Structure 1
Amino acid sequence: MLAVHCGIGRHLPGIDKLCSQAVKERDTVKAVMCLESDPRTNCGIGSSLTEDGQVECEGAYMQSENMLFGAVGALSNSKHPSLLSKKLVESTNNDNLIWPMVLVGKGAGEFAVKMDVPTCSQSELISDSGEVARKKAKLQLEQFDTVGALRISETGECEASISSGGILLKKRGRLGHSTVFGAGIWAEQRKDIDMSVCMTLSGCGECIMKTHMAEKIANDLFNNPEAISIQTIESSVQRNFVESPLLAAYSEPVKKLGGLVGVRKDGLFELVAFHNSHALPLAYSSGPTTKRRTLQGSDKHFVYEAFTINT
């Protein structure tokens, strides 16, 4: 199973078709790279600008094998933080040093060059044409559109990838939830109960970081393996996000969360989508076919939908 989303909020036309195109890559990171290459998204070359007109991307990758995690932030010389994050994970066991999980700024940029990840100039990242830029600007005030992809294999190995350009007019050096372990993505396989969970989340980065939502949702699913997944996720979001005292300082319009959760139990696959915003465009593979969907929602409450996946 492979699934992709383009984040929660309001989006330009055709984003659901872009999700379908990304799924056809049949690879988690390549799917996100497809999204990073399209200026209609808030990642890679479509990233939001900082308050001084620069692009600082971020992204992360996590795999169930050894639960390895890698992330990059404040990256300004590459449109593919998703690929660079995976390179960071792949480099983890190359020597006996304690390898970093997160690289930011100049260090992340230098690592991109070292790993032969395609680099570019700031002008290439700021690539919106006039009409696309105008339309995106109207949307971004109510947009939390971190993109992501997840995959679960037939035998339960799983991985997740995430990428974001951050919030519009952010401070230079600001890091979002992509770079925090347990916040924006998760990938874990527990062979003793024949269950795997992976996810990629979008929303207000500060809220997601404070609540560690990805890890919280995953633990609730693993602790209730016999329960219906969508009900467990709904309960987890209500308890750990909606009612969390950690978010008391944030107004309701800011407390946005959504994304995709993939679950494999006893050989059966399920995908759950949820959010509390305008919409969540997504696509997923089900057997030999690719299906796309835009889950419409409301700013006033969460919506949830589950999809049974054929393999």
Structure 2
Amino acid sequence: MNKWVIAVHCGAGYHSPRNVSKHNEIMSTACRAAAKLLTEKKHYDACTKDLSVEAVSLAISILEDCDFTNAGLGSNLTLKGSVECDASIVSGLFQGLFGSVGGVMGVQNPIHLAKEILYDVRRGMGALGRVKPLMLVGRGAWEYCLTQPHCGYIPVAKSEAQLEGYLVSDRAKRIWQNHMNRLKKVQNLDEDVAYDTVGAICMDPFGNVCAGVSSGGISLKHEGRVGQAAIYGTGCWAEQKNNFRFACSCTGVGEDIMYNRISERCSQYLYSASDNESDEESEGVYLDTCLSQVLSVEESPLLPDHSSRNVGILALHAYDSKSIELAWGYTTRSMAIGYMSSSTREAISFVSNNNSLLNTQVGVTSI
């Protein structure tokens, strides 16, 4: 079996020390489940299934089912106190094809819905030659999930009456009430709010890569706001050309990530650098250098009204399958990361801390 890796994140922002053990446990659980799939279920029809897509969607769905991550159950609430989720998934095997949902209510696992949209496009044109959607938003996304036979396994609200309160956890409700009280007093939200979007990246034993991301969005967002997790080239990216493999999943303030096209630019940086080098020299292009460059103020200017960057990236890079680089970079106080690979016996999960917010924190390991 060739090398493989599955890696997940529970966002960049601030992770309270009292919750670190819970984050580590759920990230390890997600990695183990995906690793089992990668090593035991090897035979997929290349025309309809992608093992890396299955692993990524499985890992993210486990993170979505936790009430302390900002995705699926327990997502941040909108100004009106409801849950609206964004998610997307990109397949390197299918030439960067992606599926996504934005501002969807009533769907417990938005990442599975995004995956089914991707697969449905692979099945070809609809009746009368209708082009199938790559992205669905709002009520249309919910109705698609509710009515399409291939989405029957996804937990979903069965009626409009269930939409408003669906996926609203007690924890999210308490946080929402606290923020609403402070907002009424015209107080700013402090850094204890983590942008804990979840995501996953994978390179399967066949060398195919995939990336996904799922988010409830920022706390007190306006209804209808769609963040980076649903947008092509921003929330996640997966690309494979010849011997080049790259996948990344982003977290943080969606507007920062969208404005700077973070995910796609990471891939462009690495691919262009590798393409300009001979095979013998290409190993000198390192992923940590790429993340530091893309997250620099010079390369990714801030939005005019933002006082600080709030971005995190989890990425993998492989060239000629000789080795896989796994790296994470972030500009916030902390980022939660977990991974498991063909060279590790157990899942490794941790919260990385940034002691100086003046600098970008970058970590890297080789698989």
Q: With the length of structure 1 as denominator, give the TM-score of the two structures.
A: 0.91
Out of 21, 24, 29, the position equivalent to 1:16 is: 24
2:310 corresponds to which letter in structure 1?
Answer: K
* 1:127 maps onto 2:197 in alignment: no
Judged with a 3 Å threshold, the aligned counterparts in structure 2 of structure 1 residues 283 and 139 are, in CA distance, closer, same or farther, namely: farther
In 2, Cα distance between equivalents of 1:32 and 1:130: 19
Q: Is the 8 A contact 1:8 1:203 kept in 2?
A: yes
Q: Is the 8 A contact 1:40 1:132 kept in 2?
A: no
- The 3-state SS of whatever aligns with 2:102 is strand
**Match for residue 148 of structure 1?**
199
Out of 244, 247, 263, the position equivalent to 2:317 is: 263
Query: Could you list the runs of 5+ residues in structure 2 that have no partner in the other structure?
Result: 35-54, 180-188, 275-281
- The 3-state SS of whatever aligns with 1:70 is strand
Deviations 1:227-262 (A, max 9, x none): 122112212322xxx225763413233x21112001
* 1:89 maps onto 2:118 in alignment: yes
Judged with a 3 Å threshold, the aligned counterparts in structure 2 of structure 1 residues 99 and 154 are, in CA distance, closer, same or farther, namely: same
**Match for residue 230 of structure 1?**
288
* 1:211 maps onto 2:297 in alignment: no
Out of 99, 102, 107, the position equivalent to 1:73 is: 102
In 1, Cα distance between equivalents of 2:232 and 2:288: 23
Q: Is the 8 A contact 1:8 1:280 kept in 2?
A: yes
- The 3-state SS of whatever aligns with 1:293 is strand
In 2, Cα distance between equivalents of 1:81 and 1:52: 20
Shift of 1:143: 1.9
Judged with a 3 Å threshold, the aligned counterparts in structure 2 of structure 1 residues 202 and 172 are, in CA distance, closer, same or farther, namely: same
- The 3-state SS of whatever aligns with 1:66 is coil
**Match for residue 329 of structure 2?**
274
**Match for residue 182 of structure 2?**
none
**Match for residue 140 of structure 2?**
107
In 1, Cα distance between equivalents of 2:61 and 2:260: 27
Work out which of the two has the higher radius of gyration on C-alpha atoms and give 1 or 2: 2
In 2, Cα distance between equivalents of 1:7 and 1:273: 11
Query: Could you list the runs of 5+ residues in structure 1 that have no partner in the other structure?
Result: none
In 1, Cα distance between equivalents of 2:239 and 2:331: 25
**Match for residue 40 of structure 1?**
68
Judged with a 3 Å threshold, the aligned counterparts in structure 2 of structure 1 residues 111 and 201 are, in CA distance, closer, same or farther, namely: same
* 1:296 maps onto 2:296 in alignment: no
Shift of 1:273: 0.7
**Match for residue 48 of structure 2?**
none
In 1, Cα distance between equivalents of 2:136 and 2:195: 23
Shift of 1:31: 0.7
1:154 corresponds to which letter in structure 2?
Answer: P
Q: Is the 8 A contact 1:259 1:280 kept in 2?
A: no
Deviations 1:112-151 (A, max 9, x none): 1122222033434112259975999688753212110010
Q: Is the 8 A contact 1:4 1:283 kept in 2?
A: yes
In 2, Cα distance between equivalents of 1:272 and 1:168: 28
- The 3-state SS of whatever aligns with 1:125 is coil
1:243 corresponds to which letter in structure 2?
Answer: E
1:68 corresponds to which letter in structure 2?
Answer: L
Identity over the aligned pairs, expressed in percent?
A: 28
2:10 corresponds to which letter in structure 1?
Answer: C
**Match for residue 83 of structure 2?**
55
Deviations 1:59-82 (A, max 9, x none): 001101221111101111111110
Deviations 1:274-297 (A, max 9, x none): 101111111101324211122111
Q: With the length of structure 2 as denominator, give the TM-score of the two structures.
A: 0.78
**Match for residue 40 of structure 2?**
none
In 1, Cα distance between equivalents of 2:359 and 2:348: 26
1:281 corresponds to which letter in structure 2?
Answer: A
**Match for residue 167 of structure 1?**
218
Runs of 4+ residues over 4 Å off in structure 1: 129-141
* 1:188 maps onto 2:239 in alignment: yes
In 2, Cα distance between equivalents of 1:33 and 1:139: 29
Judged with a 3 Å threshold, the aligned counterparts in structure 2 of structure 1 residues 217 and 30 are, in CA distance, closer, same or farther, namely: same
In 1, Cα distance between equivalents of 2:253 and 2:175: 22
In 2, Cα distance between equivalents of 1:203 and 1:38: 19
> How many aligned residue pairs are there?
303
Q: Is the 8 A contact 2:74 2:172 kept in 1?
A: no
